[in-house]
Amino acid sequence: MARLAGLLVLSFLGLALFYPLSRILVLGVGEGFAKALANPYYWERYLWSLEYGLLSAFFTLSLALPLAFLFRRRFPLREAFLALSTLPFVLPTPVVALGFMALLGPRGVLGVDLYGTRTLLFLAAVFYNLGLALRILLPVAMRLEGPMRAARVLGATPFRAFLRVGLPLLLPALASAGLLVFLYAFSAFGVPLLLGGPRYATLEVEVYTLLAYRLAFPEASALMLLEILTLGLAVLLYLRFRPYPLPPGELLPASWAWTAGLAAFFLLLFAPLGALFLQADPRALASAWASEDFTPLSLALGNSLRFTLLALLLALPLGVAYAVAARGSRLLDLLGLFPLMVSPVAVGLGYLLAYPAWRGSLPLLLAAYALLAYPLLARALLPALRSLSPNLLQAARVLGATPLRAFLRVEIPLVFPALQSGLALALAAILGEFGATLVLWRPEWTTLTLAIYERLGRPGEAPFKEALALAALLALLSGLLFYLLDRGRGRWG
């Protein structure tokens, strides 16, 4: 059965990822490099993307490290704060972008206009990735107490103990977290597109612009290739870092003061979301519902729900099949992670190149959604499947169940909570998908995310208010659906 599942995943990956990517490769190397890479303008885009990735990682880590040390303590509401810290990661990019516009944009609550500055872009990157970095650093930080105490017993000052014992032990986790943040920021699309203006376009935004406005396939392919190579290098590095095996540590005592301090910090961190809901006007929602100037909300909402449902129907069997197949195969485990490395815009571009006859047809869009979503589902499912005792399955087989039956009746019920969490992640990813949708879109398919983008493209107070209201709605919708499926279990990250 694992072999069959492996075959299914591999054939999907072949058609939906490797073949389209090979078309980018051929065009990018063949024609694009000569055209694009002779142009210093594109190199500047590349350097800026690198800078954005690296500095975002640096800023995020410098905030996540002290935060991880704070979370080593037991204080009231600690778990709630931890759950809260990962919330931004499931928020759609237009929601985050509009949150920052509501706070620090031209009509922002604070009255400071940072729109189109680097500062705003870095703030958004930190907001997005802080929880992710914290989740990686925290388990290691919690195990440092033993070794560091040993160092102090041997006569080291606390500072020296941290410098010579704590920090070296933390390094692998710091590197992993930093590389992940780099991956996400370097290939960021939605945030720089909406907040960066033409000056701070990342490679990903540039590729989209080349396609949408100039139809320059060779140049777009060359830039995309450059991006994929860089991302691939970062992933290879990422795979090298393994945490040192340390005995689990215990939470240190702390008081309500800790809770109060962290509450203040999270209030500050979530100020963009607060500003979004503060500025979102329910009346704008009403005017957006049957808008004549833009895609009416009724249509966009229907599209979003329809596409999410259809794509989940595709992503669910794929994710389960992948988890089953990857349980026993390290190679497949790595291969199946591939979709997480390529950007949504690359997927869209690859589809346009690989299947010209299918341009503008729904299966392409759904395949892209499923491709981007199934690894998330599988990542949540895999640890649960791996932790199952093989005895259970053998017992079912001895009692006469076929392999499929044993899987469906014994294993699936046991991993059902993990499956639900995975589904919740996949759903959040599809609902907020932006890059691939923008490349593969047809006007009548405008989703909620695109309806926001469309309104932002037009100046004036009224469209901006509608965009804010739609973003607030999207935030509520993805938050609600996520909670309903996941119930705050958080078996991911």
Partner 1 sequence: MLRLLAVLVFLALGWAQEITVLTHSSFSLDKGLIARFERETGLKLRFLKGGDAGETLNRAILTKGAPIADVIYGFDNTFLSRALEADILLPYRSPEIQNLKATLLLDPSFRALPVDYGWVSLNYDRAHFKDRSLPKAPADLARPEYARLLVVQNPATSSPGLAFLMATVARFGEDGYLDFWAKLRDGGVRVAKGWSEAYYTHFTLYKGDRPLVVSYTTSPAAEVYYSEGKYQEPPTGNLFPELAFFQVEFVGILKGTNNLEGAKKVVDWLLSKPVQENIPTEMWMYPARRDARLPEVFRFAPEPVGSVRLDPKVMAQNRERWIAEWTQVVLQGRSPEAVRRGRR
Task: Point out which residues bind partner 1 (CB under 8 A).
Answer: 38-41, 44, 198-199, 209, 211-216, 302, 306, 309, 352, 356-361, 442-444, 457-460
As measured in angstroms, the least distance from the Cβ of 47 to partner 1 is 12
As measured in angstroms, the least distance from the Cβ of 410 to partner 1 is 25
Q: Which residue lies nearer to partner 1 by CB, 102 or 235?
A: 102
> How many angstroms separate the CA atoms of 278 and 136, rounded?
32
Amino acid at 136: I
> How many angstroms separate the CA atoms of 65 and 12, rounded?
40
Q: Which residue lies nearer to partner 1 by CB, 175 or 216?
A: 216
Quick one: tokens of 300?
A: 């966009």
Backbone angles phi, psi at 311, to 5 degrees: -70, -35
As measured in angstroms, the least distance from the Cβ of 357 to partner 1 is 4
As measured in angstroms, the least distance from the Cβ of 285 to partner 1 is 21
Q: Which residue lies nearer to partner 1 by CB, 159 or 213?
A: 213
47-85 burial string, b = 16+ CB within 10 Å, else e?
ebbbebbebbbebbbebbbebbbbbbeebeebeebbebb
Is residue 456 within 8 A of residue 465, CB to CB? The reply is no
> How many angstroms separate the CA atoms of 236 and 234, rounded?
5
Q: Which residue lies nearer to partner 1 by CB, 229 or 309?
A: 309
The closest alpha carbon to 315, from 379, 363, 372, 382, belongs to: 372
The closest alpha carbon to 111, from 102, 122, 98, belongs to: 102
As measured in angstroms, the least distance from the Cβ of 404 to partner 1 is 23
Is residue 308 within 8 A of residue 364, CB to CB? The reply is no
> How many angstroms separate the CA atoms of 449 and 189, rounded?
13
DSSP state of 166: I
> How many angstroms separate the CA atoms of 34 and 225, rounded?
13
Q: Which residue lies nearer to partner 1 by CB, 282 or 443?
A: 443
Q: Which residue lies nearer to partner 1 by CB, 351 or 407?
A: 351
Share in percent of the chain as helix, strand, coil (round to 5):
80, 0, 20
Tell whether the torsion through CA atoms of 407, 409, 411 and 415 is positive or negative: positive
As measured in angstroms, the least distance from the Cβ of 99 to partner 1 is 21
| Residue 432, CA distances (Å) to 89, 135, 149, 443 in order | 11, 22, 45, 18
Q: Mind giving me the DSSP string for 424-437? A: HHHHHHHHT--HHH
Q: Which residue lies nearer to partner 1 by CB, 253 or 459?
A: 459
Q: Which residue lies nearer to partner 1 by CB, 71 or 307?
A: 307
As measured in angstroms, the least distance from the Cβ of 338 to partner 1 is 25
Backbone angles phi, psi at 65, to 5 degrees: -65, -55
As measured in angstroms, the least distance from the Cβ of 301 to partner 1 is 12
Q: Which residue lies nearer to partner 1 by CB, 82 or 216?
A: 216
As measured in angstroms, the least distance from the Cβ of 419 to partner 1 is 17
Q: Which residue lies nearer to partner 1 by CB, 46 or 81?
A: 46
As measured in angstroms, the least distance from the Cβ of 451 to partner 1 is 13
Q: Which residue lies nearer to partner 1 by CB, 104 or 138?
A: 104
Is residue 88 within 8 A of residue 128, CB to CB? The reply is yes
As measured in angstroms, the least distance from the Cβ of 457 to partner 1 is 7
As measured in angstroms, the least distance from the Cβ of 484 to partner 1 is 15
* Cβ-proximal residues to 80 (8 Å cutoff; 6+ apart), any chain: none
Is residue 46 within 8 A of residue 229, CB to CB? The reply is no
Q: Which residue lies nearer to partner 1 by CB, 208 or 482?
A: 208
> How many angstroms separate the CA atoms of 244 and 300, rounded?
48
133-161 burial string, b = 16+ CB within 10 Å, else e?
bbbbbbebbbbbeebbeebeeeebeeeeb
